[in-house]
Amino acid sequence: MRVHVVGAGPVGLLLTALLQSVEGVSVRLYEKRPEYTRTRMVQLAPYLVADSLESYQADVIDGDSVEAIFDRSELEQGLVFRQSIPSDLSELLDGWARGFCPLNAIEQSLSDLIDVRGQNGVVRTAAVVTAEDAMAMLEPGEVLIDSTGSRSLLRDHLVPGESREDANTLKVRLEYALVITFLYGQPYDCNEHCKYYKNIENANYKFIPMVHRTHFDGSVSHVTGIVSISAEEYDVLPSHFDGEWLRENVPAVAESTDRFIEKVKDETHGELLGDLEIVRIPLDLYRARNATNRQWLASESNGHPFASSPVFLAGDSAIGSPYFQSISLGLECAMFLAGLLAQPNLPVKEMLDRYELYIYKQWLRVYMRSKMIKHNKDLFESIDDPLALLDKLHIY
Ligand SMILES: Cc1cc2nc3c(=O)[nH]c(=O)nc-3n(C[C@H](O)[C@H](O)[C@H](O)COP(=O)(O)OP(=O)(O)OC[C@H]3O[C@@H](n4cnc5c(N)ncnc54)[C@H](O)[C@@H]3O)c2cc1C
């Protein structure tokens, strides 16, 4: 079986590395970036390397939802697949899931692993692939996977007669935010009490570090937090800037962030290392309504390449979510997809149906989780104003 994987970000690379060790599968991997240079730090969810159902469902926010959405047998199959991952790859996953890690390191080490493995079967092509290219290269019976990220190459081409932009996308905009990152010269850990006390004088623009978004690597703590901003503020801000720019142009956010950092310093007697790094992003939750081309295959249209070969969306192409959970979701779905493709006798229709159902369940899980986080954040913003807090509770 020949599988074309378009996009060698973390998800395309993991899929390739997984399929590389499946007998009878060859992979064509296409990537437009000449090298891996992304600087952002990411955190992988512990469930990615869980070795039991209990640890898979241990998450404080959505452990219960996982049990409600997935059948036990589905979760067990996921664990069995995880345990079958070759050790060179599972050791990498274990290492990344231990803490905070540069996205670049994940991409580079997967890429190197694919290149150094003896049994190759992978052909890599440096190219910007267009939707037309993807359709032209797909021979009947081959598999095409779009892992090109949030601006997916093929998401809008998966349904016959429908190629309007975003026709196949359901999007929920939760909020606009500044993601503020800094390095700190002492160990620093954060929990919900810390978020409260360090923001006690910040009536607005509370700086909210995620509990697991601080990481001490032996000499430096990496801290990432979110400050909510309005749509109007989002529109006038540049996409990236530093602390100096923030202090000059958005002093209210700078004061709140600086107050938070001062309290961290009072507590742990360290210093900020370098400047703040800030990006402004819309926090969107979205999914492809169709994560495969099963409607094309069912339509039996003659001549269209998507009517004779399976196409899948994987990673941010299929589902995107805010609050630092997207990469784990993408890697999880990549494992499921690789598990399906490794079953040579599975009929294509069943493969597509199972993938759609799985993606839908993952969507339910991340939708509920993200709405819960947003709701908790909203309550936290009003924590000093009981009446405003009550207005947001809607108890019955
Ligand atoms: C500031 C920031 C911080 C984040 N932090 C976290 C975090 O802590 N935890 C977390 O879970 N997630 C985090 N994320 C999200 C995470 O980075 C993404 O979920 C993840 O990168 C998605 O992986 P992917 O492989 O699906 O897509 P991408 O990483 O977007 O990779 C897509 C690849 O496809 C290539 N490509 C695109 N189009 C084409 C084409 N036409 N032809 C050839 N190649 C193409 C691109 O060059 C790229 O290499 C963060 C995102 C941002 C912006």
What number does the ligand 1 atom closest to the CA of 33 have? 47
Distance of alpha carbon 161 from alpha carbon 293, whole angstroms? 12
153 in contact with ligand 1, CB cutoff 6 A: yes
Percent of the chain at pLDDT exceeding 90: 79
329 in contact with ligand 1, CB cutoff 6 A: no
Percent of the chain at pLDDT exceeding 70: 98
Q: What is the pLDDT of residues 285-306, one digit of tens each?
A: 999 999 999 999 998 777 889 9
Tell me the best of 32, 287, 333, 335 to mutate to test the pocket of ligand 1, counting ligand atoms within 8 Å of each CB and taking the most.
32
Average pLDDT over residues 61-70: 91
Q: What is the pLDDT of residues 16-30, one digit of tens each?
A: 999 998 999 999 999
Amino acid 367: pLDDT:
97
Amino acid 395: pLDDT:
84
The two tokens of residue 12 are 């395309």
- pLDDT beyond 70 at 211: no
Compute CA 305 distance to the chain's CA centroid, rounded to the nearest angstrom: 29
Q: What is the pTM of this model?
A: 0.93
Amino acid 133: pLDDT:
97
Amino acid 213: pLDDT:
52
* 226 CA from centroid of ligand 1 (Å): 19
Tell me the best of 40, 129, 240, 327 to mutate to test the pocket of ligand 1, counting ligand atoms within 8 Å of each CB and taking the most.
327
CB–CB of 215/99 below 8 Å? Answer: yes
CB–CB of 348/43 below 8 Å? Answer: no
Distance of alpha carbon 334 from alpha carbon 13, whole angstroms? 10
Q: Which backbone phi and psi does 375 adopt, to 5 degrees?
A: -60, -45
Distance of alpha carbon 122 from alpha carbon 107, whole angstroms? 16
Q: What is the pLDDT of residues 90-149, one digit of tens each?
A: 999 999 988 778 899 999 999 999 999 976 789 999 999 999 999 999 998 899 999 999
Would you call 204 exposed, middle or buried from its count of C-beta atoms within 10 A (0-12, 13-18, 19+)?
exposed
- pLDDT beyond 70 at 243: yes
30 in contact with ligand 1, CB cutoff 6 A: yes
User: Each residue of 91-109: b (16+ CB within 10 Å) or e?
Assistant: ebbeebbeebbbbbbbbbb
315 in contact with ligand 1, CB cutoff 6 A: yes
Amino acid 324: pLDDT:
84
Average pLDDT over residues 221-241: 94
- pLDDT beyond 80 at 214: no
